[in-house]
Chain A
């Protein structure tokens, strides 16, 4: 017959054996995970999360200790993000125009750094009809590719639901475009944006193919690829990107995620937001509120 005391003793003995086996098992699992998943898992958690894409320890230390010489700006202090409140977008396309002006983007319909898509569900339909400014009917409506405007083609039909979705470069945490660039012409800056060094771009357009969001285009006149960089020359001077600056309805919200009270931090915290194509694993930095299942 066992007394309560000995019972406890036995339990302890059992537990310690169990602990030991558990410890062994966890150890093996951890080792396996480290070997198997390697950097990919590590990059998401802990200290390595601060590194830019494809940056080794030495380069990360250099980025922290010796940041680029931009006046009154240190890229270590910021982590930029954009929020898009699609419920507010009126599809006026002033963002597109301002962007083209600010960044000297080619003026024809098919070159743009940012654009707006219109999603329309006709009565009884489960799929959306999508068009954007570059749609030939929209161009025909104004008679010019440089007058950015949606036509009123749904005036006489019954529409169940319709909305506009502004698109721009997502400045992904794991940018496919950077991964494929053979010359190091495009890269992920430490504060977020994916930039293009036009002097190194050879125009192979590999990145245009790689981008899952179609955010890049080729500038034939310059012979280099062009993409949205959230107006890096503006945000490093404390200004908003051009599209955010002109948006008359406050659809686009820009800010620093390192600052918990910045507009974009509040936007992400106070709303249900989602990113486009999360299954691609790119970890975008543009957060959408109010988009539908059809929006990718």
Chain B
């Protein structure tokens, strides 16, 4: 064999040997185990520590906030609902708004910790680090931040489904911050908790009420028993009612055009005015009232005894969103129940309740509530 061929063969053998040994050393055992990849990588990827911990993990320390949230609509919305058999989850949990995931939280020892993570984690055992130092975002939100955060979901935007509550900032609140009226953990407004400036101004309301007094009386006691007394009524209910007239959900030849002319502020003011006036018991047929008293147990859960919020008095509703019935005109009450019964007025609860009542029941109940004290 010529020398140069032998050298060439030797070189090939050496290169092959090197290639073989390099291959043996460099390809890990688990390569090709499950396919053309490193089998061990699967467990490595799965071993990463989750950062989002879920709202329940916040409860460990933030009991008060958690309670408020649990009672409110943001939590109520976080229920599991089955629609056509599919379980839907609604409503934001803690980490939706407080976006630094709980896994980045100072109190957590376990921090994100895989090769993929270049985040410099803090591993404090105590809560001594201000959340602003946490990688990611601020967990504590400032009132100025709120507007951006609330509007992420609630700004009126083309493309958002109508079921989503949306607001047009310019007309809804102007320059006010959301937190002025809403508690972000439980954003549905309880009017009693509002600062006086936003509760509606009864004095200003008196001027607006000039349009109302022709029918509903100077002091909120209506001239005609077919019209409701407004005196002492919950302001929140009155505002809601005016809104339903304005939006066309309820129709009334008199009320619809009047409500259309009112701004939201007008409504709050005029409601505050009538809420501040003294109510008068119009009274009902005593014999009927006695019979109605027995039937009123069905209504009491909402319209008497303080509703959800503990003890109250007969005919005074527990929630400011529900009307007081005490002392109301009997004729108006019976007309209203009849309207629920025949469907000309609808309400999630009242429609079905009214359908269980006979015309006689309606007469008796109306007489009963018309005669109870509204003080």
Given the interface contacts A187-B37, A234-B50, does A199 sit within 8 Å of B86 by beta carbon?
Answer: no
Please tell me if B92 contacts chain A, counting CB pairs below 8 Å. Answer: yes
Q: Classify the secondary structure of B's interface with A.
A: loop
Asked if B33 CB lies within 8 Å of chain A CBs, one says yes
* Shortest CB distance A139–B (Å): 14
Instruction: Give 1 or 0 for each of B236-278: 1 = CB within 8 Å of chain A CB.
Output: 0000000000000000000000000000000000000000000
Contacts of A232 in B (CB 8 A): 45-46, 48
Q: Do residues B89 and A247 form an inter-chain contact, with CB atoms below 8 A?
A: yes
B72 within 8 A of A: no
Stretch at the interface among A5-13, A20-28, A159-167, A277-285: A159-167
> Would you call B46 and A236 a contact (CB within 8 A)?
yes
Q: Are B52 and A98 in contact (CB under 8 A)?
A: yes
Q: Which of A152, A162, A185, A188 contacts B155 (CB 8 A)?
A: A152
Interface string of A139-178 (1 = CB under 8 A from B): 0001000011110101100010011100000000000000
In the complex, are the beta carbons of A101 and B101 less than 8 A apart? yes
Q: How many residues of A contact B (CB 8 A)?
A: 81
Taking a contact as CB atoms under 8 Å apart, the answer to whether A199 and B115 are in contact is yes
Stretch at the interface among B157-165, B192-200, B346-354, B357-365: B157-165
Q: Which residues of B contact A (CB under 8 A)?
A: 31-52, 54, 77, 81, 84-93, 95-96, 99-101, 104, 112, 114-119, 136-137, 148, 151-153, 155-161, 164
Chain A 206-239 interface 0/1 with B at a Cβ cutoff of 8 Å (1 = within): 0000000000000001100000010111101101
CA distance A147 to B147 in the complex (A): 13
Report the minimal beta-carbon distance from A83 to chain B, rounded to whole angstroms: 8
Residues on the A chain within 8 Å of B91, using CB = 248
A54 in the interface (beta carbon within 8 A): yes
Interface presence of A103 (CB below 8 A): yes
Contact of B52 among A66, A102, A154 (CB under 8 A): A102
Neighbour of B41 across the interface among A94, A199, A270, CB < 8 A: A199
* Known pairs A221-B118, A247-B89 / 7 extra A-B pairs, C-beta < 8 Å: A54-B35, A55-B34, A75-B42, A101-B51, A195-B45, A250-B81, A266-B85
Within 8 A of B (CB), among A71-120: 73, 75, 83, 85, 87-94, 97-98, 101-104, 118-120
- Check if A69 sits within 8 Å of B43, measured CB to CB: yes
Question: Nearest-CB distance from B49 to chain A (Å)?
Answer: 7
B40, B54, B81, B89: residue with the most chain A Cβ atoms closer than 10 Å: B89
Please tell me if the beta carbons of A271 and B84 are within 8 angstroms of each other in the complex.
yes
B46 touches A101 (CB 8 A): no
Q: Which 4 A-B pairs have the closest CB atoms?
A: A162-B159, A250-B88, A233-B48, A197-B41
Q: State which of B38, B87, B153, B160 has its C-beta within 8 Å of the C-beta of A197.
A: B38
Measured CA separation A161–B90 after assembly (Å): 24
Query: Complex formed: what's the CA distance from A68 to B43 in Å?
Result: 6
Question: If A54-B35, A101-B101, A188-B35 touch, does A250 touch B89 (CB 8 Å cutoff)?
Answer: yes
The chain B residue with its CB closest to the CB of A63 is: B34
Q: For the complex, what is the distance from the CA of A198 to the CA of B95, rounded to whole Å?
A: 28
Q: Which of B45, B77, B89, B136 contacts A233 (CB 8 A)?
A: B45
Contact partners of A199 in chain B: CB under 8 A: 38, 41, 115
Tell me if A203 counts as interface (CB < 8 A to partner B): no
* CB-defined contacts of A286 to chain B, threshold 8 Å: none
Q: Considering the complex, give the chain A residue whose CB is closest to the CB of B34.
A: A63
Known contacts A62-B33, A103-B116, A184-B36; A92/B153 CB under 8 A:
yes
Contact between A248 and B92, CB atoms less than 8 A apart: yes
Most B-side CB within 10 Å, residue of A54, A75, A198, A233? A233
A104 touches B116 (CB 8 A): yes
List chain A positions with a Cβ less than 8 A from chain B.
Answer: 52-55, 59, 62-63, 66, 68-70, 73, 75, 83, 85, 87-94, 97-98, 101-104, 118-120, 142, 147-150, 152, 154-155, 159, 162-164, 184-190, 195-200, 221-222, 229, 231-234, 236-237, 239, 242, 245-250, 253, 263, 266-267, 269-271
- B41: A residues at CB distance < 8 A: 187, 195, 197, 199-200
Chain A's closest residue to B168 (CB) is A155
Kindly list chain B residues whose C-beta atoms are within 8 Å of the C-beta of A62: 33-34, 39
Does the CB pair A248–B96 fall under 8 Å? Answer: yes
User: Nearest chain-A residue to B93 (Cβ)?
Assistant: A246
Bound-state CA distance A237–B46 (Å) is 8
Contact between B86 and A263 (Cβ–Cβ < 8 Å)?
Answer: yes
Contacts of A142 in B (CB 8 A): 148
Q: Which chain A residue has the least Cβ–Cβ distance from B54?
A: A245
A21, B88: Cα distance in complex, Å: 56
Selected A-B contacts with CB under 8 Å, 9 pairs = A59-B34, A62-B34, A68-B34, A85-B88, A101-B101, A195-B41, A198-B115, A236-B46, A253-B87
CB nearest to A237 among chain B residues: B50
> Does the CB pair A233–B35 fall under 8 Å?
no
B335 smallest CB distance to A (angstroms): 40
B33 touches A248 (CB 8 A): no
Docked Cα-Cα span, A249 to B38, in Å, equals 38
User: Could you tell me if A159 and B158 are in contact, using CB atoms closer than 8 angstroms?
Assistant: yes
Chain A contacts for B39, CB-based, 8 A? 62, 68
Residues of A within 8 A of B137 (CB): 101
A184 to B37, CA, bound (A): 4
- Would B38 and A184 count as touching, CB distance under 8 A? yes
CA–CA, A8 and B65, complex, Å: 87
Interface residue from A70, A164, A269 paired with B42 (Cβ < 8 Å) = A70
Contact of B92 among A89, A94, A195 (CB under 8 A): A94
If the complex has contacts A118-B159, A152-B157, are A195 and B116 also in contact, measured as CB distance less than 8 A? Answer: no
Find chain A residues with CB under 8 A from B112 CB.
Answer: 104
B45/A98 in contact, CB under 8 A: no
Q: In the complex where A92-B152, A94-B92, A98-B95 touch, is A200 in contact with B161 (Cβ < 8 A)?
A: no
Residues from chain A with Cβ under 8 Å of B34 in the complex:
52, 55, 59, 62-63, 68, 187, 190
What separation, in Å, do the CA atoms of A93 and B157 have in the docked complex? 13
Shortest C-beta distance, A131 to chain B (Å), equals: 11
